[in-house]
Structure 1
Amino acid sequence: MLNNPVWAALSGPQAGYAEAAGDAARYQPEISPFCAVSDPADPEAWRDLGTLTDHALLVGPALSPPPGWVLEERTMGVQMVGTAMTAVADPEAVPLTEHDVPEMLELVARAQPGPFRKRTIDLGRYFGIRSADGRLISMAGERIRMPGWTEVSAVCTDPEFRGQGLAARLTLAVAAGILARGELPFLHTVHDNENAIRLYERLGFNHSANLVFASFRHVPTA
């Protein structure tokens, strides 16, 4: 399940946010760019995916599509799990709602935490910390949700305010809510983001797997 988290989510707890065809699914485009196939080694699943989209972003331990799919971009990633961590809520972490989405998108543009779209907030709870003048300067929330697990995602801080521990506090606040539901938190980061990996290790996350984030373009063969 953790090796194919998007499929586990879209064929399970988050099926209501999916566009699906056979053994393939994707999030509704305004929510997330992620897609999935039930078995990345199954050409028929990739055929199903081709009926949903011409451009697909997938995550998994190995992604080798059949002919008709062209690799556009690939990033090596790390998956980390909080199977033995403790976490606490943060009194300064305020819930974010759809009214905050414009500010959230502006923060994402400055901090570049990864894919975040105007309806990503539909997937779970998001929290933010504001500066003294009311600006949203840090945030984190929930994205991929599968049985027993929820991903901590969009962890970011405005570059002007980094180094104050804001991302750590919000990561723990989001994880606290996940643990309170009886689920376990997990997260992803790029493999060479050593600062982030060390931070998450200090917070109680452990390495689970090396994964690939890859974007493919569908070019149907004759």
Structure 2
Amino acid sequence: MRSEDAAVLDDPVGGSLRCHHTALARRLGRADTYLPGVATFCAVPRDPDATDWADLARLLGRDGFADLFSCRATPPPDWEPVFALDGRQMIWTGDRPVEPRAASGDLVELSATDVPEMLDLAARTQPGPFWPRTHELGTYLGIRAGGNLVAMAGERLRPPGWTEISAVCTAPEARGRGHAARLVRALVSGVLSRNERPFLHVAETNTAAIALYDRLGFESRTQVTFRGFRTP
């Protein structure tokens, strides 16, 4: 892989909002964010000026939440810090076989009718931000047991040439059965089938997930810090 092929992953939110997710984006000047209910991720230029921050504040409104994801720029001092979380970005290396989606017979593709269950599962397992319209970002797959949704994973950010795998979660009562691995393999297969490459983000403290992704064929590309702020 050439280094320039992955350079877009330095700003995956901005790359997504200006490419595959333009229909789900709001923009003012050089500031971008998602429509309400889809995601709270925001993007500004690599070296934002006062106008860029002011435009983002106008997009979000007073006391709005700005999830700057892995953006390294620092907002003005009157923006209130909400959280900071160390993590890493991992990319698919392609050195392991991928299980075709067809081989996973009980995997189902989730849709708008499944949103209440998806929101409930996300609330119970805390895989990361998940909102009523997050499923519109890409394909989401689930596993059901006894009619109940017990595991899911899906596609989130889509900068040019890449697709992020996200919301990988399993209900406590269904863990230890390989659901997460099967879901990720199926999603990887789908991403590769359209000539894109999978990537993902994971909290640095989630050592079990990091080990799983390593076994499935991902490798660490860079360390990141996820940060959130409140606008003045």
Class of the TM-score when normalised by the shorter of the 2 chains: over 0.9
**Structure 2 CA distance for aligned equivalents of residues 191 and 204 of structure 1:** 18
Which of residues 88, 92, 99 in structure 2 aligns to 1:82? 92
Deviation at 1:171, TM superposition (A): 0.7
**Structure 2 CA distance for aligned equivalents of residues 216 and 13 of structure 1:** 26
Contact 2:69 2:228 (C-alpha < 8 Å) held by counterparts: no
Q: Does 1:165 pair with 2:168? A: no
Aligned identity (percent) is 46
Structure 1 stretches of 5 or more lacking a match?
none
**Structure 2 CA distance for aligned equivalents of residues 91 and 40 of structure 1:** 48
Q: Give 4+ residue runs of structure 1 displaced > 6 Å after superposition.
A: none
What pairs with 1:124-203 in structure 2 (closer than 5 Å)? 124-131=138-145, 133-203=146-216
Deviation at 1:72, TM superposition (A): 1.5
Computed over aligned residues only, the root mean square deviation of the Cα atoms, in angstroms, reads 1.3
Deviation at 1:197, TM superposition (A): 0.2
| Correspondence for 2:54 | 47
Deviation at 1:61, TM superposition (A): 5.5
Give the counterpart letter for 1:103 in structure 2: E
Q: Does 1:65 pair with 2:75? A: yes
Q: Does 1:36 pair with 2:43? A: yes
Higher helix proportion (structure 1 or 2): 2
Q: C-alpha offsets along residues 156-202 of structure 1, whole Å, 9 cap, x if unaligned?
A: 00011111110011011111100000000000110111000000000
Deviation at 1:47, TM superposition (A): 2.0
**Structure 2 CA distance for aligned equivalents of residues 40 and 48 of structure 1:** 14
| Correspondence for 1:9 | 16
Please report the TM-score for the alignment, with normalisation by the length of structure 2: 0.90
**Structure 1 CA distance for aligned equivalents of residues 203 and 68 of structure 2:** 14
Please report the TM-score for the alignment, with normalisation by the length of structure 1: 0.94
Q: 1:40 to 1:164 in 2, by over 3 A?
A: farther
- Number of aligned residue pairs: 218
Q: C-alpha offsets along residues 26-64 of structure 1, whole Å, 9 cap, x if unaligned?
A: 111111111111225543322221111132001226242
Deviation at 1:145, TM superposition (A): 0.7
